[in-house]
Structure 1
Amino acid sequence: MRLRSIAASLAIALLVSSPAFADGVASTTVAPKSPWIAAEFQVPVLVKTPDFKVVPLGPALVKVDFDAYMSSIEHLQKTFTRSTDWPHAGITDADAMRDMETEQARFNKRESFAYAVLTPDGSRERGCIYVYPSPVTGYDAMVRIWVTKAEHDAGFDAELAAWATNWLKTDWPFAKVAYPGRAITWSEWDRMLAAK
């Protein structure tokens, strides 16, 4: 399973609908179930750029998502999860679907927001962006990003990280966002978690 459930559980352990369009960016108006994000904030459900589009993960994306992370098992174990728990060769179609359903449910409840980063035509997933409540005091949110090995080697990791940082700064209601493994080294993040 994409154990995005595991990826999300890692983040939570590290801690952790109807769309309307405005200015070319779709957003959802689902009422919050959790206090970490403002009730009036309309969570984006579609962002388009010339090179990619960002949409919530869910069952409709199970195949492109599975293909993406399974193409990059070792790369993601080293760069994203720091674990062999996810991804791994034994993930089944049923596991992958459960994971997509879990991510969609968390999104709809406004507990966390998992996004696929797709090619403009939606035929291929280039990576993912996850927005979670921060487990460390002083940060409003924690953001995790991954791209496939091929996209990383082509330089897309740095491009997506810069874009996502700007997106979170301009389009989300957070004053301070943590980017563990990026703006904050893993060793520093681990120290911060241990100190809380």
Structure 2
Amino acid sequence: MSFIPDSYSPPRFFQSDSFSLEVLSPKFAAQDFASVTASADAIRHVFGPANGWPDPQMSFAENLADLERHEREFLDHQAFAYSILSHDQEAYLGCLYIKPIKSRIENDLRKTAYGAQAFFWLDSQETEGNFSAQVLAELQMWLKNAWPFSATVFPGRTIGWPEWEHMATGSHCL
């Protein structure tokens, strides 16, 4: 089940002023595994405060299976994952994930407010200065201008985790 229109062809590549994106696939297995394991503590809760990925004992084979799954999801239009690369495409900087908002909560307000949710992590060597904020700003502009979503949210970045969770049930965070 796709969360984008059948007529929309998701970009396989994107070049911004600061970085480039390419579909996350097994092509990046060695670079991704090295970056994920070296930056595990820095990226551990990107998908939520209770999310424990990556497992400290994750193997290369497990990471490769994740990359294969991400590529299948992309091809099936279920979710879209990208490798974040340096502008010259020489360095592996992290990953971007664009996903539908899944919830078992009836009338989840997040689903009506946003067409998609996005998450990204950067290699711990790339978190100095304002690079993360720059990446966020450029991704927001790209998602707004090039994708068919009404709005895209970056939980944990553009909205705090408590507000994001409270939004699911319509309650307000004080």
Smaller-chain TM-score bracket: 0.7 to 0.9
Matched, 1:66 2:33: yes
TM-score, length basis structure 1: 0.76
SS in 2 for 1:184: coil
Shift of 1:55: 0.6
Greater Cα shift, 186-195 or 108-117: 186-195
CA distance in 2, matches of 1:53, 1:91: 27
Matched, 1:150 2:125: yes
TM-score, length basis structure 2: 0.85
**Alpha-carbon distance change, 38 to 187 in structure 1, aligned in 2, over 3 angstroms:** same
Alignment of 1:27-176 (within 5 A): 33-34=1-2, 36-83=3-50, 85-135=52-102, 136-138=110-112, 139-176=114-151
CA distance in 2, matches of 1:140, 1:185: 18
Q: Deviations over 1:121-164 (max 9, x none)?
A: 43322121111112332111111111122211232110100000
SS in 2 for 1:146: strand
**Alpha-carbon distance change, 50 to 183 in structure 1, aligned in 2, over 3 angstroms:** closer
Letter in 2 for 1:77: R
Question: Structure 2: 5+ residue runs without aligned partners?
Answer: 103-109
Shift of 1:83: 4.3
- 8 Å Cα contact 1:77/1:83 also seen in 2: no
Total equivalences in the alignment: 163
Matched, 1:177 2:152: yes
CA RMSD of aligned residues (A): 1.9
- 8 Å Cα contact 2:83/2:94 also seen in 1: yes
CA distance in 1, matches of 2:16, 2:82: 14
Letter in 1 for 2:157: R
